[in-house]
């Protein structure tokens, strides 16, 4: 028997080892537009949340609160600290605290002046005049001058370094400036221009060490970075606006999702964003508060409208009637999530039409009769392609299979890896249906709605509707904001009425905060603002 | 030749029998539809749901019945692929030696040197994920080298025995010698290798499912269920316990059978 014990022990070890393997599956949902760069293979430093006794947990966290410090757990390393080159959503999310543009976003979804004190738009919509705010300083102590503004904008608009260019700034025709004001003239009116300026961060002219020692104008300044381990920021005392509350913030990188939970439990971390509901229930209620924001993406069962049987509007409507959104949210997301009825989420309150959410109320009989009308009285077989590394989407698809079975549709799930998904589904549109989340990477509704135009390059659902194309063209031409908003709302309605896709929900973004930590604000874009946080 | 059952064998057959019974029942009948999600989420074990329900409100017992079948089928077929091809390779290389031995065994070494998990991943990505046979194929290939090595040693040690030389002198064909004279005499190592391989296959299927390339949801397999359960240890510990125990029972049972068979063959020879 002794001899046999070894293989058994080995086998059990293998089981345990493989049990650890799953935790690296990202908890965040994929978005078709702003996808964090693929995670690099983690160095095996991810398991170690320090072992501590309950007593030392207590002292450690009160020590941090007393010293007015904060440790935030994040899931991936930074791809670049240079604001012109960073591409990963996870990097932009954090460095939002270090850099600012001429304008910046508010949590309500508006764009307000930042480094500029005033923004004036000309009546024809072709020129914007930015007035430099008095007394804005860079983190290195130098005052921000007009040279810095011109340098920062030109780098992103018209430099030889193509990697630094922002596509949305290509509408700029020329810049004029004096000591106090910068006037940017556009070649055509653009309602997205300000949102693009927001992302052109102001940096010191000619400063080349952004990668190792970034300098901006934000509420926090860079202190140190240790690759694959952490980033340390401290409060910038000379910040022009409302100063931050917490003195020092450390961002600790733990690529293993379980590591983040353990870090919270052990007291090593105070705040972790983008958690799954499974993870949050592992935290004890008295020690943590769970804040629910939203991912700001439209999760849906996206249908290939060019593929049979989804080229028939009655089939698509039948699917909408068959799927109970709330059941999906309850079963796969512990009830966290906001049901959606169209390609727009509530954070864009200006554009969002809430009445569309209940346009199709779950009705199995109606779904069946629509299917019969369309010539599928006995249902049909369909394939749902899902990116296998995103558990929330796989779980959603699992529930969908069950809901569709009720109306006689036999759905099967085809899990593919993320790069295959991007290639086959998103680029080649070689799929029948898929579950994913679509986001907008700037603060305008255009990104979300333009993609359903017949000729749009990223129209991966092959939606084609003459009326839609007409309204879309009109909306993109329109320079009056109120009228454009109306047109965008008409587009949303068109998508719902024609059941372009089976819209499900705006997924919840759960943030775990240690008790005593308050002031978290959510934005309609993917950022984590630590400047508003404070210890009670 | 008198074959006595021993304790290991009996216990092993008994324990494995439970899981086998699960699988057999699962083919014909489950108390509830294994994919139906209407029984309430995270219901603890009760008389209605003896293993409780999972995060989607599915009956775990029904899923264990179905999942045992899937896991057994995958494990049996992968280990069979490994055993058949591995034995062939081992027989040829061990019996003939020489150049063919060098070439095949170096190929074998290359396969072994490659982390088996990566190899399986590679094959699954070539065949395309989401198909049950792709896992079987991938894992089957992974199991070839260990069988080949064990069988090569065995055939090499037997090829110069007197009865083999005599058979050769009497003009027996090589194939006849290999599979009629030699193969039955390797049963002493083949059977334990098979049972250990089977256990490894069960665990490998579990770990493949962990990575989401084994079975596809909503189908159930023990490994896939265990991987689902690990995130729910707090909300529904019974999920991990019931699936985990089924896997442990299966492996323990088959391990005992292997042990029993080895003792049996020792007694016989």
A398 vs B206, B218, B231: nearest CB: B218
* Secondary structure string (H, E, C) spanning A237-298: CCCCCCCCCCCEEEEEECCCHHHHHHHHHHCCCCEEEEECHHHHCCCCCCCEEEEEEECCEE
Q: How many CA atoms lie within 13 A of B68 on its CB side?
A: 29
C-alpha distances (whole Å) from B170 to each of A423, B95, B167, B174, B177 are 64, 18, 5, 12, 11
Question: CATH number of the domain that B181 lies in?
Answer: 1.10.3720.10
Joined together, the tokens standing for residue A495 give 């998508």
Count of the separate structural domains present in chain B: 1
Q: Which residue in the block uniquely carries the two structure tokens 């007593």?
A: A55
CA dihedral A48, A52, A58, A63 (to 10 degrees): -60
End-to-end CA distance of chain B: 10
In terms of residues, how long is chain A? Answer: 536
* Whole-number Å distance between alpha carbons of B124 and B139: 9
pLDDT, residue B132, reads: 64
Query: Distance, in angstroms, between B165 CA and closest chain A CA?
Result: 34
Q: Do A401 and B196 touch (CB under 8 A)?
A: no
Using the beta-carbon criterion (under 8 Å), do B255 and A7 form an inter-chain contact? Answer: yes
Contacts of B39 in chain A (CB under 8 A): none
Query: How many CB atoms are closer than 10 A to CB A239?
Result: 19
Cα B248 from chain centroid?
Answer: 13
Confidence at B120, pLDDT banded by 50, 70, 90? confident
Check B217 against A412: CB less than 8 A apart.
no
Contact A415 B130 (CB under 8 A): yes
For A451-467, write each residue's pLDDT tens digit. Answer: 899 988 888 999 999 99
pLDDT in the model for residue A503: 94
Element (H, E) at B149: helix B132-158
Put simply, the answer to whether A401 touches B252 (Cβ < 8 Å) is no
Nearest to A112 by CA among A94, A86, A130, A138: A130
Q: What percent of chain B has pLDDT over 70?
A: 94
What six digits make up the tokens of A517? 């930590």
Select from A421, A443, A444 the least CA-distant residue to A433.
A421
Range name among A58-67, B37-46, B225-234 with the lowest pLDDT average: A58-67
Is residue A499 within 8 A of residue A320, CB to CB? The reply is yes
DSSP structure string for B112-127: HHS-HHHHHHHHHHHH
Residues of A in contact with B203 (CB under 8 A): 11, 14-15, 18
- Residue numbers of chain A with a pLDDT score lower than 50: 1-4, 6-54
Q: Residue B38: what pLDDT?
A: 82
Give the CA-trace dihedral at B224, A35, A495, A409, to 10 degrees.
-10
**pLDDT value at position A29?**
41
ipTM of the complex model: 0.77
Give yes or no for A402 touching B (CB within 8 A). Answer: yes
Interchain proximity A21–B211, CB inside 8 Å: yes
How confident is the model at residue A51, as a pLDDT? 44
Range of the domain at B216: 2-268
Tally of residues, chain B = 269
| Minimum distance, in Å, between the CA of residue B105 and any CA atom of chain A | 24
Q: Name the region of A516 (left: φ>0; alpha: ψ -120 to 50; beta: rest).
A: left
Please give the pLDDT value at position A57: 57
In angstroms, rounded to a whole number, what is the distance separating the alpha carbons of residues A235 and A232? 10
The pLDDT assigned to B131 comes to 63
Q: Which residues of B touch A414 (CB under 8 A)?
A: 129-130, 216
Check CB contact under 8 Å for A8 and B216.
no
* Residue B218 in contact with partner chain A when CB distance is under 8 A: yes
On the 0-12 / 13-18 / 19+ scale of CB atoms within 10 A, A312 is middle
Report the residue of A330, A334, A402, A417 to disrupt the B interface, i.e. the one with the largest count of B CBs within 10 Å: A402
Q: Flag whether pLDDT at B238 surpasses 50.
A: yes
Q: How confident is the model at residue B81 (pLDDT cuts 50, 70, 90)?
A: very high
pLDDT for residue B128: 66
Question: Which residues of chain A make contact with B218, given a CB cutoff of 8 A?
Answer: 398, 401-402, 413
């Amino acid at each position: 028997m002794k001899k046999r014990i070894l293989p058994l022990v080995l086998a059990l070890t293998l089981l345990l080892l493989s049990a650890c393997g799953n935790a690296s599956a990202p908890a965040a949902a994929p978005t078709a537009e702003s996808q964090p760069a693929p995670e690099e293979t983690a160095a095996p430093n991810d398991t170690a949340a320090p072992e501590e006794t309950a007593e030392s947990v207590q002292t450690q966290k009160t020590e941090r609160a007393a010293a007015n410090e904060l440790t935030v757990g994040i899931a991936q390393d930074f791809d670049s600290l240079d604001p012109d080159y960073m591409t990963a959503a996870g990097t932009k999310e954090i460095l939002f605290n270090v850099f600012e543009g001429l304008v910046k976003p508010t949590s309500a979804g508006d764009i307000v002046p930042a480094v500029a004190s005033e923004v004036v738009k000309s009546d024809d919509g072709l020129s914007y005049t930015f007035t430099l705010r008095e007394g804005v300083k860079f983190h290195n102590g130098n005052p921000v001058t007009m040279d810095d503004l011109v340098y920062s904008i030109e780098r992103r608009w018209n430099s030889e370094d193509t990697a630094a260019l922002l596509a949305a700034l290509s509408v700029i025709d020329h810049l004029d400036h004096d000591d106090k004001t910068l006037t940017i003239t556009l070649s055509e009116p653009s309602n997205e221009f300000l949102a693009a300026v927001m992302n052109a961060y102001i940096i010191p002219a000619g400063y080349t060490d952004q990668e190792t020692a970034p300098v901006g104008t934000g509420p926090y300044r860079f202190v140190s970075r240790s690759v694959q381990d952490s980033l340390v920021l401290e409060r910038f005392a000379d910040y022009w606006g409302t100063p931050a509350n917490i003195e020092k913030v450390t961002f600790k990188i733990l690529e293993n999702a379980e590591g983040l939970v353990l870090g919270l439990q052990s007291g090593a971390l105070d705040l972790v964003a983008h958690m799954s509901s499974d993870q949050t229930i592992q935290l004890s209620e008295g020690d943590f508060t769970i804040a629910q924001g939203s991912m700001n993406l439209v999760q849906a069962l996206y249908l290939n409208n060019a593929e049979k049987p989804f080229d028939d509007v009655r089939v698509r409507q039948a699917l909408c009637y068959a799927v109970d959104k709330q059941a999906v949210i309850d079963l796969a997301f512990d009830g966290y999530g906001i049901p959606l009825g169209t390609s727009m989420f509530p954070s864009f309150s200006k554009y969002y039409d809430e009445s569309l959410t209940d346009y199709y109320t779950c009705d199995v009989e109606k779904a069946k009769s629509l299917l019969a009308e369309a010539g599928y009285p006995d249902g049909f077989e369909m394939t749902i392609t899902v990116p296998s590394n995103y558990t929330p989407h796989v779980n959603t698809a699992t529930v969908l299979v069950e809901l569709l079975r009720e109306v006689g549709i036999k759905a099967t799930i085809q899990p593919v890896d993320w790069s295959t998904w991007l290639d086959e589904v998103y680029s080649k549109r070689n799929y029948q249906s898929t579950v994913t989340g679509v986001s907008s990477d700037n603060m305008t509704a255009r990104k979300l709605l333009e993609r359903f135009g017949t000729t749009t390059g990223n129209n991966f659902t092959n939606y084609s509707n003459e009326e839609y194309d007409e309204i879309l063209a009109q909306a993109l031409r329109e320079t009056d904001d109120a009228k454009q908003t109306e047109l965008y709302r008409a587009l949303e309605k068109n998508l719902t009425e024609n059941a372009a896709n089976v819209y499900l929900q705006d997924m919840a973004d759960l943030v775990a905060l240690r008790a005593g930590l308050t002031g978290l604000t959510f934005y309609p874009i993917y950022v984590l603002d630590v400047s508003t946080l404070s210890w009670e | 030749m008198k074959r006595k059952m021993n304790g290991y064998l009996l216990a092993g057959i008994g324990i494995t029998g439970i899981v086998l019974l699960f699988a057999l029942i699962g083919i014909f009948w489950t108390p509830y539809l294994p994919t139906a999600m209407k029984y309430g989420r995270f219901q603890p074990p009760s008389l209605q749901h003896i293993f409780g329900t999972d995060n989607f409100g599915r009956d775990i017992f029904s899923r264990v019945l179905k999942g045992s079948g899937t896991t057994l089928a995958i494990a049996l077929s992968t280990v069979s692929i490994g055993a058949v091809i591995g034995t062939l390779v081992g027989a040829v290389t061990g019996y003939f030696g020489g150049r063919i031995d060098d070439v095949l065994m170096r190929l074998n070494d290359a396969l072994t040197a490659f982390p088996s998990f990566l190899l399986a991943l590679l094959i699954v990505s070539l065949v395309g994920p989401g198909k049950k046979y792709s896992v079987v194929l991938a894992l089957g290939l992974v199991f070839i080298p260990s069988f080949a090595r064990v069988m090569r040693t065995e055939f090499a040690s037997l090829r110069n025995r007197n009865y083999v030389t005599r058979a050769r002198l009497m003009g027996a064909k090589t194939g006849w010698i290999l599979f009629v004279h030699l193969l039955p005499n390797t049963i002493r190592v083949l059977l334990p290798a098979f049972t250990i391989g089977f256990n490894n296959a069960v665990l490998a299927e579990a770990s493949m499912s962990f990575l989401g390339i084994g079975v596809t949801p909503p189908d159930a397999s023990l490994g896939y269920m265990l991987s689902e359960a690990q995130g729910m240890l707090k909300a529904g510990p019974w999920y991990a316990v019931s699936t985990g125990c089924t896997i442990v029972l299966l492996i323990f049972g088959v391990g005992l059978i292997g042990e029993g068979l080895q003792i049996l063959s020792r007694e016989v020879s």
